[in-house]
Chains A and B, each alone.
Chain A
Amino acid sequence: MNLVETFRTGLEAVISHRLRSSLTVLGIMIGITAVILTVGLGEGAQQQVGSEISSLGANLLIVSPGSTTSSAGIRGGLGSASTLTVANANVLANKTVAPDIAGVAPVVSASESLTAGTANWTTTLVGSNASWMAVRGRAMAEGRFISGHDVQTHAAVVVLAPTTASELFGAGDPVGQTVDVAGTPMSVIGVLTAEGSSSTSDDDDQAIIPITTAATRIIGGTGRNDLSSIYIEATNSQTLSAAYQEADNALLSLHGITDATDADFTITSQQSLLATATSVDKTLTVLLAGIAGISLLVGGIGVMNIMLVSVTERIREIGLRKALGATPRLIRRQFLVEASVLGLVGGMLGALLGLVVAIVLPHFISDPVAISAAAIAGSIVIAIAIGVAFGVYPASRAARLAPIDALRSE
């Protein structure tokens, strides 16, 4: 008996018990769908994180004041002043001090109220230099960004992020209009493109002005040279750690600190933050995949259960087939094929349902679902393997039956 005949015999048996076969298939199908969806959700989340990395700039380092390395918590500078200054930023921008740093954007930020005509909107006001746009990986939707000249001349100009622009000007063109920033009128020179919100802040709702303008006209006082943070862009992703070292060394010596553990600043890379986020996603994926795997296991036990019932119920058929010349091997193979057909059909239907849900689901939840061919092919293979694995015991039980005992049973 060749393989085609074995397969045909198995199919005939599956088809002749339609209800039972479909219920068994349903079990496998749900398991496979669950696997495809959890893997898809996990991969989708990781891809999202990946695209966040590139949108933030993979080569980005952020220097923030205070230390988190101390066990006592965040170490502040002397008094309440920030430990980072514009002078620090200027040193880091020096190519001889830090050859692997491509751009430095010192940042002061404050929450300020912006007024344009009758519209009033409170947003994050960011004071920075011309490097900010490149370092943060942003682009202009219209107009221009702050220039070096604007910074030197303390120009009263402002660049708006898209949400801020639409809150203040509605559908109208903001470029060339005047915005009142904390009592100082400033002209809008450009609007940024939309970026999307990250987990920590809404990058589409902010206003950027020259850092000098912020220091003299908005903040003023003794804290005018204190920075909220310094954004550093490495020349490329390979030099990121070199840039990190250069920035670390330069700042330590500028601050007169000999022991790195006493540092009054912290340098973090976006990658390390996102790596943490990714690993959290991975943990979640593994957890969900584990649950999906359990449902697949339950499906497999369903196959075994049905096959055992099938063997018991068809004991006469087995006896007859043996009387007609079927060897134990052929009987075993017949039942194995039946079990794997159940697995295969369940796997294919599950993959199909998984695909459909993966396409439909993102319309209802915000999370993307990645559809990977490997996950689909893999889960079909797993489904067949489950059919075979859980079919082995019933099949060998059928094969072991003595023809006469099988024929005699009622």
Chain B
Amino acid sequence: MTAVATLGRLTAAYLTVALLALLGGVVTGLAQGLEHAGINVYPALAPVVQSYYHGLSLHGVLNVLVWTTFFICGFLPFIAVQAFDVPLAAPRLGWFTFWLMTGGLLLAAIPLVGNAATVMFTFYPPLKAHWAFYVGLTLVVVGTWLVTLNLALTRQAWRRTHPGERTPLPAFMALVTFTMWTLASAGLAAEMLFLTIPWSLGLVAGTDALLARVLFWFTGHPIVYFWLLPAYISWYTIVPRQAGGRLFSDPLARASFLLFLVLSTPLGFHHQYTDPGIHEGWKLVHAFLTFAVFFPSLLTFFNVVASLESGARARGGRGWVAWFAKLPWGDPSVAAQVLAMLLFAFGGIGGLINASVSLNLLVHNTAWIPGHLHLTVGTAVTLSFMGITYWLVPMLSGRALWSRRLALVQVWLWVGGMVIFSNALHRLGLMGMPRRTMIGAAAYIQPEWKPVLPLVAVGGTILTLSALLYFANLALTLVVSRAPYPHGLMFAEAMSGPDHAPAIFDRLRPWLVLAVALIALAYGPSLAYLLATTPFDSPGMRVW
């Protein structure tokens, strides 16, 4: 078997777990959407889903943590190995990693499904979940580090046979993504190892809410780049080719990813603008760095759109904007990802609003935030990943997609449902409706919320329908489809290739040093102060 075919099985294994998690999260999500419109289905779901908040925790953990992470750990090594054209350096380690992560997931799933970890995907102490939840999630994180190791070893092996060559762009981007994540996940790892695990096991009596939040958001913002960058990799290196064009600039793409490596982490305080106990000055430093990370996003926007434009023009597109209509809209993989980019533009604007110190006070912890999250991780990432699976699943199974038309319907339903759903949540947030709240049961529903709340259910229902069509199409592809699908993934060529970039754009270490220095600067003083003054006197409790 070829190297790629061997890896294909590992990728398929990750994809299976990811898709099951997505399915679970979608089903629980529907119940939440209906609840906001006053349709309480939870009595019918008991004892599987024991409360609104139990369902919400399942939804968040399954969709935001599991679906993304398992997809990425399957997809990026697949891309990297294809681009390197050498086998994964340590295939046994690869399988060990998969089983470690899956074992961790199952361990965490026991209390989560059993309503002993109804603490949301942010699990802010002193809400106290069962220890297996924290230990299981920690094993998943450790697994992601082993993926980084395997990618680094693979690059080393490639380097031996290709001395002096530039790392192929898709592989380089995969490595940068995992390097960034490994560095960023240090906060979460510290929270787990030093705070939540010993505390949930009863080894220490107390914990601290603020320190836990600081460590969580150390990882909690860069984790969105860990989800987003794999979608960017597809937008940069695969979608332009699918659209019949070329990547506009390889050096600019590298520069953008290296800036994400440097800038993704030292800005977590923008999730904590309203937390007491962190000095306002440091919050402003993180606000500044948040605006700085907007820069590589703008570079990506330009480069990806220019690449799409080259494809559309090659297909006969004309004009400044009209070329857009000439993209291959009949290809569900392209349609999904281009539409994901479009909605992501609104997610990006919303993100800037969230980062803006004074505007954040209007929207923090309101329904605006899940509205934003569903445009970013729920569309830019999820709809792109769906678009990727429209070629990846056929490639791994050797069977053509069962129905392209059904896939197109699914993609447009997702966009339509999301526009309704996300717009409703954004508006409700601006009207002061809190997030993560069983609104249908609240005594304080304001009159101005009432006309908008049903739209949450309408949008959510359309999204669920779209997701079910998606799963049906994939299942029928595996079971019914008989048309063959050729193996072999083609990346977009670049108009301006890697040789036009300075050599430092192909190195990781100097940028990693810069990233660590910036993190030390942005987080060092606040963390040192907290570690020196925190008494760890919150006992913690189960309140669900």
A and B assemble together: no
